[in-house]
Amino acid sequence: MFDIDKPLVGKEEIDALIECVNDGSIAQGKLVHKFEEEFAKYCGIKYSCAAMNGTSALHLALLAVGIKPGDEVLVPSLTFVASVSPISYCGATPVFVDCDPVTWCMDAHDLEKKITPKSKAVIPVHLYGNACRMDAITAAAKKHGLKIVEDCAEAHGTTYKNKQVGVFSDVCFFSFYKNKHMMTGEGGMCLTNDRRLIEKIGLLRSHGKEKSENLSDEDFAQKQFISSEIGYNYRMTDLQAAVGLAQLKKVETFITRRIGYARLYGELFKGTNLTLPGFDKDVRHTFWGFPVLLASDEAKVRAVIEFRKRGMRLRSFFNPCHMQPFYKKYKSTCPVSEDVSRRGVLLPNIHSMKEEDIRTIAKWLKELL
Ligand SMILES: Cc1ncc(COP(=O)(O)O)c(C=O)c1O
């Protein structure tokens, strides 16, 4: 009945795509460059490098900050597995950190406890559009000399202490998957204020090759295909960037709608036994979904089954990554993440929905409580 992942695409996106195709501007080109500039401006960060999706952007970011086999990288257990797998691509070890019982984002106390001499970086994930408590996380990272790579995949426009998330780290990344606050179908981007990091990310994104405009005439003649290191093909296309540029113009409208729907869910659930999302006063939560906890595991299972019968996929919270079959071997303890994940559902809160959809979903859930 409800398509919980449906993007909102208008004439602007369609016209931009047609122009792109007519222009022959289909692979990475001038529109990717423009999208990088415009999105960096929106975030208030100097440099940016687009990638084919958020996962590849995180992989590039970790390589750029120097993550190597044998290093440990701290990451919350309660996140989508794509926050973790790039650590494994680098041959490093993920160390799972529990979540805060109120915000459901990384718990800074548990982070401190799990830092070891092998720790090299931390990935705070701004889960479901909430913001991590970056003061405490940055202080811990600074004390122990860790790099910070912020996962902003679900947090476009989220602010912490009046600053957009993404500015609290060495490098951050966003996802533009179709169900995000703004989308390019698939897509991602790294952003940083460090020029050397972005140059490294740019090099790795495209086979480790120097940009041809950086080569002297002589080098251009002889070294166009020299790769200074092993890189990847993680490029975004102009087709994606064309959509991204059109979406960027509307992103604040989309976010305002999501925040409004979240407020409505909150009002409709007053007086129920649901645990509603907790966030600090100095956070602008942009609600990539409306996360709630039911009273018990059984109540959640019942709700998912009932919604399914009514033709709607009710999303669970992410399964804690330390319990994924391939990460169980690290024997991590994250009891809060386990409890929250067992009881949590993410109600749909996408800007393509109508207010009546929110009211219907809230009514269905209330009937089950
Ligand atoms: C928290 C989080 N991190 C990383 C990613 C990976 O992004 P992508 O799907 O664009 O590869 C996602 C996915 O959407 C995500 O939700």
- pTM exceeding 0.95: yes
In one letter, which amino acid is 164?
Q
Q: Is 237 in the pocket of ligand 1 (CB under 6 A)?
A: no
Q: Does ligand 1 have an atom closer than 6 angstroms to the CB of 279?
A: no
Name the fold adopted by 251-368: Aspartate Aminotransferase, domain 1 (3.90.1150)
d(CA 172, CA 142) in angstroms, rounded, equals: 17
| Residues 203-215, mean pLDDT to the nearest whole number | 88
Mind listing the pLDDT tens digit for each residue in 141-164?
999 999 999 999 999 999 999 999
What ligand 1 atom has the least distance to the C-alpha of 56?
Answer: 11
pLDDT at 222: 85
CA 111, chain centre distance (Å): 20
Tokens read off for 46: 């100097």
Please report, rounded to a whole number, the percentage of residues in the chain having pLDDT higher than 90. 93
- Nearest 5 degrees, angle CA 352-CA 357-CA 363? 155
Long-range contacts of 209-213 (CB under 8 A, 24+ apart): none
Cβ pair 6, 229 in contact under 8 A: no
Atom of ligand 1 minimally distant from the CA of 187: 10
| Ligand 1 centroid, distance to 128 Cα (angstroms) | 11
pLDDT confidence tier of residue 64, bands split at 50, 70 and 90: very high
Q: How far is the CA of 173 from the centre of ligand 1 (A)?
A: 9
C-alpha of residue 174 to centroid of ligand 1, in Å: 8
Summarised one tens digit per residue, pLDDT across range 215-261 is: 888 888 888 888 989 999 999 999 999 999 999 999 999 999 999 99
Q: Are β-strands 159-160 and 93-97 bridged in parallel, bridged antiparallel, or unpaired?
A: unpaired
- Out of 3.20.20.70, 3.30.70.260, 3.60.20.10, 3.40.640.10, the CATH code matching 11-248 is 3.40.640.10
pLDDT for 267: 98
- And the tokens for 41? 């401006």
Contact 65, 87 (CB under 8 A): no
240 in ligand 1 pocket by Cβ < 6 Å? no
CA of 153 to the centre of ligand 1 (A): 5
Annotated domain spans of the chain:
11-248, 251-368
- Report whether 105 contacts 132 (CB < 8 A): yes
Beta bridge partner(s), residue 347:
290
Q: Which amino acid is at 217?
A: D
pLDDT at 75 exceeding the cut of 80:
yes
Atom 8 of ligand 1: nearest residue by CA position: 54
Q: Hey, what are 10's tokens?
A: 């208008």
**Cβ 175 under 6 angstroms from ligand 1:** yes
pLDDT per residue as tens digits for the range 277-289: 999 999 999 999 9
Ligand 1 site, residue 80, Cβ cutoff 6 A:
yes
**Is the pLDDT score of 346 beyond 80?**
yes
Distance 367 CA to ligand 1 centre (A): 32
pLDDT the model gives residue 101: 97
CB 97 within 8 A of CB 77: yes
Q: How far apart are CA 186 and CA 282, in angstroms?
A: 31
Q: How far is the CA of 187 from the centre of ligand 1 (A)?
A: 10
